[in-house]
Structure formats: C-alpha cells, structure tokens
C-alpha cells in the first residue's frame, strides 16, 4: 500500500497481509491513521519510509540511490513526484529533479509476489556517476528473526539464522555471480518461524552478477530490506541521455511460514516460465570426465537408452585439445583427435535411440592455452589496466562486452547449433571474475543467452556455475534448469533440495543419480537412498551405467518409470516440508494442485533420536478427503532397526483422511541413518 498523495516521493504504508480495503475512503482512512508521531531529536515532520529513501527527506539510513553529478557541487539527492500510473496490478512512479529521472516499477502478481525495479536516466548536461540504486521494502517490528543462506562448493544454500538488532546486515557478492555463498533468499519473520508457521517476508534479487541485499534496523524504529546491483566505482557512468535499470527485487509475504511463501514464489516463477515435461537425462561428466572416446560414449548412450533415459548430455572434454581443465576454453570447435568424425556418430546414435542430445559449453570463459587467446589476448577480461586477474581453475573470463569477442563466441555456438541437432546446452561458468565489469559481463551473458534462444526456438539451457554458483531468478528467466550443486552425494542433496526449493520450483532443479560412492565427498550410499533423493527435481543420471549390475539396472529403469509417472505432479504441485521435532528426520513432499495426489519422502538424515520414532505427519492435503498411502519401493526398501514394523507397513499401506495425515500422522519404522522412504498418496 503506497501513499502517493502530495508531491513528495510516495511512502510505503504497508507490505504484508491483505487489508481487504478496496474502497478509496477506507484506503484514505488507513493512510491517514498511519501517520506516525514526530520523534524526539529528529526532523520536525513525521519520518516515514518512502519508495526511495533519501537523506533529503530526513532518512539517515541507507539511501535508495547514491551517486554524484560529475563536476557539480556535492548535494543530497532529492526528488519530487512527476508522474504516477496505476493499474490493478502495476504501479509506475516517476520522480524527477533537475538532472535525473527515476522510474520505479512495481508489479503485484496474482500469487501475491511483488516485483520492483528502478531505472535512473540522466536528463542533465553533465555525466552522472551512479554508486547504487536499490529497491527497498519495509519490514514491521514483529519481523525480528532473519534467515538467509550461505555455502561453499559443493555445499550450497545452507541456512543461517540470527536475531535482528539495530544495525545493518549486508550480504554482498563480488564474485561476478551470486556465488556458492549467495544470500539467495532473505527472510525476516516472527520469532521461530518455520516451514508451516510464522509470519514472514522474503526477498530475492533476480540478478546473476555482483549484488548486495541488506537489512537495516534503525533506532528510529524502521526496518528496511533493500537490494540492488553492487556497482564498482565508476562502473555506471551515465552520460546525458543515458539510463541504467536495476535488477528486479522479488518479494512476498506469508502468514503461514516458508511453505506458503514458497508456494507464492513458485506460482510466480511458473507463470513466467512454462516448461515442457522434464526429460530424464544422462550427463557424462562423472562417468567419463575428459576421457572422450566415440565408441565408449556410444556404449554409454546405449546403456542410457536401455534404461529409459530421454536426453544424453555430453559434458566437458569435446573441444579442440581439451584433454584437461587447463586448456581450450574459447575454442568451441570439436576436437579432431578425440572425435575424428565430429560428434555426428554419437549424436546420430543418440537420436536414433530416441533420445535428444545436449552439449556442455562454457561461453563466458577462455583458457590462455587456446587458439582464441593466442590470437586475441586482448579479449581476456581485464587483461589490460591493473593486470590479468588471478587464474581460477586455470582459466580466465572472456570479455563478452567486447563486441568482437562476443561475436566470436556467438558465431562458434551458432555453428555448432546449426551443424548438430542440439536440444540442450549445459551452460557452465566456473570462476569468479575478480576484474573487469561484472555489470557488463552479466548483461552480455544475458544477451547471448537471449540471442541464442531467439535464434533457436526450443533450445533449452541449463545454468551451471561450478555447480550452484549461479542460482537466481535472473538466470531462470532465460534457462530451463539450474544445476544446484556439483555434489551427487544424496545426503548433501537432501539439504540442498530442501532449501533451494524454497525459491526455485523442483522442475528447474537438476538432480542426478550418482555412483555409489560420491565423487565429491567419498560417502557411500545405498541405491535406494540415491534413487529416493534423485526423484525430487529434474531427474538424471551421472554415473557410468555400463558398469552396473543387472539388479541395479532393473532398479534404475523402474525408478525412471516412477519418475515419468509422477513428473507431472512433481513439477506442478505444491512443495511441503515439515518442521521436525527430531532434526535427524525430515519429511518433504509435493502435493498436486488439486490435492488429489501427492508424493512424500521420509528421510533419516542421520541416526534418529528415539527408538520408537514419532509418526510422520503429511501436511498440505485436503482435510476432508480420504487418501490411500502406500510405500514405493525404489531399489531395496530402506533399512530399518525394528523387531516388527508398524502394522500398516506389513499391510502395504493405509487409508486416512487428509486431516488425520496432517495431525496424527503415520507411525514410521526406525530407519538407519541415510535412508529415505517414498510414499505415494492418492485420494480415494
């Protein structure tokens, strides 16, 4: 709710629960009632939080915009309201001063998700150097606990919590990508909020480059969440007539904890990106790494097709001289030694076996040991000036903001897409930039993705960044899958899925069945745990399935059958998670939009606390309907320690109302650590 009366910057009166007020007189009454007192030792008028917090309006917290007109005397930026345009679901506010025009766009989706973006234009006569332009939302006093995320390769999106106290909590990325430690989703809420309870406000910056998201709790009593691109000194210098546009800040409110916030965010993402059924894929990376050999990969493709795989993705190792990760990035041509007949024999075979073909690329990067770097050393990002950035995975970034470098990369990718029936690009990005302009590199990357998608309609793109270093709604606007992590360790993946799905719908979240012993952790898991974990998300395999036993292959192909049977539900339903009393046992699931069916998983993350575990409760179903609950066998049944299982287990299932399933629940066996049970739930 905005108060745009008068000539000042509009004030945000309320962001949260629906006030129900539609009639102008009532809106006016609410607006009038919210005028605060004038505080002691303060400006002489009521201090309220505007859409663009400014010093000039008495706001001594973080400003919504900062910068300076070059060559002019330094002065606090101030604006007046020039125009306002409002429809049912969008508001555009135009603010002006003598040199600048700021346009603030607000959109409220039918799911209750607010998107907000700002644009600043220079209509003065001198250049304007922009330091920051942040979208902000106010938070009420009762939002006193903060949840956001951190992580590392390959353990992304781990939650962290703290009490909100006076001061600023600022999460900043200078990685040139959000990073493995990205704040990801910032949620403030009432104390102890969980998946199913608490009043919360959550925000995410839809941007794939440098950024900051901050929460400032001021001694005035105001708490503000703000976010925008983190700009380097001089990075955005607006000549007269030029405009800079900020990324979208995406925010939502929930009265019922994280699951309800997630439902809103998923509804919003799904309304913008409708995906085709998510094909089961096999990715070659952990099966063969760089050891590309035509007959070996054809054998792998055959094994994949026999299992029911629908897409075969050739990962890194196919380009000119790419024998390891020290060379060949930037030379997007097929290696004639490893692939004397090009990729045709493999691609033809894949297509003949009824699968489509995907190819790994890393278009934003360059190896110094490459044809392109030898010919154009000046295309290495930030190769001039202060010197070349430190190498990272033995590579550098190619300066995509340089039109010639951009054209080189684009033309090589176009040539590949013209030559081969490539349905899917796994688009990797494996380093922090550490130099150059992250703004220019990020916008050029978006442009390249957009250009390829426009030129090759139907082309799907997976966003990978050393695993989950770039999982954000900016990249999801133009990609069809994100690779949440390089770990295929199911235990790690349970937690990565649980938290990443807070923002990103499961159909975008790649998850692969890996080898028994995970390459990234050395942990070994039984097939049943790996299959149960890899069912939730966009499923695939990353394992040399030519080396599997007949029993393993049977289990994998029946798991693929289960995935195909349930993917429409898994990729359109509502994500449900429990607030566990025993932190070692988690419940998560997806409930169909019409609540007629669901798939749940009960997961022992470690040794659980009690000898007789509490019943697992299944939320989100229709309390008035009756449901049949049946365990699904994926590989072997999960290991248990009971002398006798609960009776329903021996009877192959039970029938209960949605209310009873949510309130009294279903007794569970005592699972040994790192086991998961999948249950199908169907209305009867």
Q: Which residues are tagged catalytic?
A: 428, 486
**360, 406, 508, 536: which one binds ligand DGJ (CB under 6 A):** 360
Residue 583 CA to residue 592 CA, distance in Å, equals 26
Nearer to ligand DGJ, 353 or 519 (CB): 519
User: Could you give the CA distance from residue 644 to residue 649 in angstroms, rounded to a whole number?
Assistant: 10
∠ at Cα 669 (663, 672), nearest 5°?
125
Min dist CB 465 to ligand DGJ, Å, is 7
Q: Which of residues 467-506 bind ligand DGJ (CB under 6 A)?
A: 467, 483, 486
Q: How far is the CB of 177 from ligand DGJ (least distance, A)?
A: 12
| DSSP per residue, 365-425 | EE-SSSHHHHH-GGGBTT-STT-PPPPBTTBEEB-TTSHHHHHHHHHHHHHHHHHS-EEEE
Q: Classify each residue of 494-518 as buried b or exposed e, where b means 16 or more C-beta atoms within 10 Å of its C-beta.
A: bbbbbbbbbbbbbbbbbbbbbbeeb
Nearest to 591 by CA among 535, 540, 658: 658
Structure tokens at 93: 């506010």
Residues 204, 215: Cα–Cα separation, whole Å? 12
Q: Which residues contact 165 (CB under 8 A, 6 or more apart)?
A: 217
Q: How far apart are CA 262 and CA 78, in angstroms?
A: 37
Residue 393 or 564 with smaller CB distance to ligand DGJ: 393
Query: CB-wise, 244 or 483, nearer to ligand DGJ?
Result: 483
Q: Which is nearer to ligand DGJ, 429 or 495 (CB)?
A: 429
Q: How far is the CB of 151 from ligand DGJ (least distance, A)?
A: 14
The binding track of 431-470 with respect to ligand DGJ, each residue x by CB under 6 A or -, is: ---------------------------------x-xx---
Residue nearest to ligand DGJ (CB): 316
Give the DSSP H or E segment for 657. Answer: strand 654-657
Closest separation in Å from C-beta 176 to ligand DGJ: 16
Q: Quick one: DSSP state of residue 57?
A: G
Among 121, 197, 430, 437, contact with ligand DGJ (rule: CB under 6 A)? 430
d(C-alpha 102, C-alpha 243), whole Å: 9
DSSP state of 351: H
CB of 415 to ligand DGJ, least distance (A): 21
Nearest distance, CB of residue 485 and ligand DGJ, angstroms? 8
367 binds ligand DGJ (CB under 6 A): no
Instruction: Restricting to residues 283-322, name those near ligand DGJ by CB under 6 A.
Output: 285, 315-316
List the beta strands (DSSP E) in 420-551: 422-427, 460-463, 481-482, 510-513, 538-541
User: Shortest approach of ligand DGJ to residue 490 CB, angstroms?
Assistant: 17
Q: Which is nearer to ligand DGJ, 425 or 634 (CB)?
A: 425
Q: In the complex with ligand DGJ, which residue's Cβ is closer, 325 or 582?
A: 325
- Determine the Cα–Cα distance for residues 267 and 518; give it in Å rounded to an integer: 34
- Among positive and negative, which fits the CA dihedral 368, 391, 446, 344? positive
Cβ-based neighbour number of residue 76 at 10 Å: 10
Min dist. Cβ of residue 545 to ligand DGJ (A): 17
Among 148, 428, 460, 526, binds ligand DGJ (CB under 6 A): 428
Q: Are 657 and 683 in contact (CB under 8 A)?
A: no
The strand pair at 211-217 and 80-86 is best described as: unpaired
> Measured from the CB atom, is 245 or 325 closer to ligand DGJ?
325
Give whichever of 132 and 284 is closer to ligand DGJ, judged by the CB atom: 284
Nearest residue (CB) to ligand DGJ, 331 versus 486? 486
Q: What residues numbered 77-106 form the site for ligand DGJ, per CB under 6 A?
A: none
Gap between the Cα atoms of 677 and 671, Å rounded? 9
CB 221 within 8 A of CB 143: no
CA pair distance 379, 385, nearest whole angstrom: 13
Please name which of 207, 177, 175 lies closest in space to residue 478, comparing C-alpha atoms.
207
CA atoms within 13 A on the CB side of 676: 28
Restricting to residues 551-610, which ones interact with ligand DGJ according to CB under 6 A? Answer: none
515 or 632: CB nearest ligand DGJ:
515
Q: Measured from the CB atom, is 285 or 406 closer to ligand DGJ?
A: 285
Q: Evaluate whether 135 touches 228 at the Cβ level (below 8 Å).
A: yes
Least separation in angstroms between CB 315 and ligand DGJ: 5
Count residues binding ligand DGJ (CB under 6 A). 12
Smallest distance, ligand DGJ to C-beta of residue 48, A: 47
Strand, helix or coil for residue 466: coil
| Residue (of 313, 312, 299, 294) closest to 354 by Cα position | 312
What residues pair up with 40 in beta bridges, in sequence order? none
H/E run at residue 473: helix 473-476
**Footprint (CB under 6 A) of ligand DGJ, residues 20-49:** none
CB of 323 to ligand DGJ, least distance (A): 12
**Would you say 130 or 464 has its CB closer to ligand DGJ?**
464
Contacts with ligand DGJ in 267-286 (CB under 6 A)? 285
The Cβ of residue 205 has, within 10 Å, a number of other Cβ atoms equal to 32
Residues written for the chain: 684
User: Crossing angle for the helix pair 550-570 and 294-307, nearest 10 degrees?
Assistant: 60
| Alpha helix positions (H), 2-60 | 24-33
Helix (H) or strand (E) holding 352: helix 344-352
The CB-of-345 to ligand DGJ minimum distance in angstroms stands at 22
Q: Give the interface with ligand DGJ as residue ranges (CB under 6 A).
A: 285, 315-316, 325, 360, 428, 430, 464, 466-467, 483, 486
């Amino acid at each position: 709710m905005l108060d745009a009366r008068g000539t000042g910057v509009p004030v945000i009166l309320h962001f949260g629960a629906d006030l129900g007020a539609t009639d102008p007189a009532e809106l006016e009454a609410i607006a009038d009632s919210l005028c605060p007192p004038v505080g002691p030792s303060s400006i002489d008028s009521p201090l309220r939080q505007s859409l663009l917090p400014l010093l000039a309006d008495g706001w001594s917290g973080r400003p919504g915009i900062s910068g300076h007109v070059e060559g002019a005397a330094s002065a606090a930026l101030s604006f007046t309201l020039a125009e306002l345009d409002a429809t049912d679901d969008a508001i555009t506010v135009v603010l002006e001063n003598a040199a600048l025009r700021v346009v603030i766009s607000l959109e409220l989706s039918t799911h209750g998700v607010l998107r907000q973006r700002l644009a600043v234009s220079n209509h003065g006569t001198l250049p304007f150097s922009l330091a920051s332009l942040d979208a902000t939302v106010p938070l009420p006093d009762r939002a006193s606990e903060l949840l956001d995320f951190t992580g590392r390769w390959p353990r992304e999106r781990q939650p962290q919590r703290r009490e909100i106290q006076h001061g600023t909590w600022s999460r900043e990325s200078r990685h040139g990508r959000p990073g493995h430690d990205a704040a990801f989703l910032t949620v403030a809420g009432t104390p102890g909020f969980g998946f199913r309870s608490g009043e919360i406000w959550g925000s995410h910056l839809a941007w794939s480059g440098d950024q900051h998201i901050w929460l400032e709790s001021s001694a005035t009593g105001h708490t503000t969440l703000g976010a925008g691109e983190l700009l380097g000194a001089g990075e955005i210098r607006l000549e007269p007539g030029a405009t800079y546009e900020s990324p979208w800040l995406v925010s939502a409110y929930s009265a019922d904890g994280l699951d309800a916030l997630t439902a809103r965010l998923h509804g919003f993402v799904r309304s913008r990106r409708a995906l085709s059924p998510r094909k089961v894929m096999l990715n070659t990376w952990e099966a063969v790494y760089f050891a590309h050999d035509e007959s070996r990969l054809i054998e792998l493709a055959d094994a994949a097709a026999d299992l029911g795989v629908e897409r075969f993705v050739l990962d890194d190792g196919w380009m000119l001289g790419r024998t390891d990760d020290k060379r060949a990035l930037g030379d997007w041509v097929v290696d004639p030694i490893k692939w004397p007949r090009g990729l045709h024999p493999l691609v033809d075979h894949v297509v003949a076996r009824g699968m489509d073909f995907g190819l790994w690329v890393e278009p934003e990067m360059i190896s110094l040991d490459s044809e392109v770097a030898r010919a154009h050393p000046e295309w290495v990002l930030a190769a001039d000036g202060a010197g070349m950035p430190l190498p990272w995975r033995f590579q550098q970034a190619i300066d995509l903001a340089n039109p010639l470098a951009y054209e080189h990369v684009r033309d090589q990718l176009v040539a590949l897409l013209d030559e081969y029936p490539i349905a899917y690009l796994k688009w990797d990005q494996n380093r922090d930039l550490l130099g150059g302009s992250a703004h220019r590199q990020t916008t050029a990357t978006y442009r390249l993705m957009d250009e390829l998608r426009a030129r090759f309609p139907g082309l799907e793109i997976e966003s990978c960044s050393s695993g989950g270093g770039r999982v954000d709604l900016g990249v999801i606007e133009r990609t069809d899958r994100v690779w949440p992590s390089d770990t295929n360790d199911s235990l790690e993946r349970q937690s990565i899925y649980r938290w990443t799905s807070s923002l990103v719908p499961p159909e975008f979240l790649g998850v692969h069945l890996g080898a028994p012993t995970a390459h990234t952790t050395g942990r070994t898991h039984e097939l049943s745990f790996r299959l149960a974990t890899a069912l939730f998300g966009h499923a695939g395999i990353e394992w040399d399935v030519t080396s599997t036993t007949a029993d393993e292959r049977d289990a994998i192909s029946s798991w693929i059958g289960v995935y195909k049977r349930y993917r429409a539900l898994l990729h359109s339903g509502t994500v449900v998670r429990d607030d566990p009393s025993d932190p070692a046992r988690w419940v998560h699931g997806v409930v169909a939009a019409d609540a007629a069916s669901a798939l749940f998983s009960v997961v022992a993350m470690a040794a659980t606390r009690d000898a007789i575990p509490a019943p697992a409760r299944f939320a989100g179903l229709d309390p008035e309907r009756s449901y049949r609950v049946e365990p699904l066998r994926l590989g072997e049944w999960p290991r248990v320690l009971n002398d006798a299982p609960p009776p329903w287990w021996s009877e192959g299932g039970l029938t209960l109302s949605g209310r009873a399933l949510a309130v009294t629940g279903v007794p569970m066996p005592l699972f040994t650590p790192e086991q998961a049970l999948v249950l199908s739930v169907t209305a009867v």
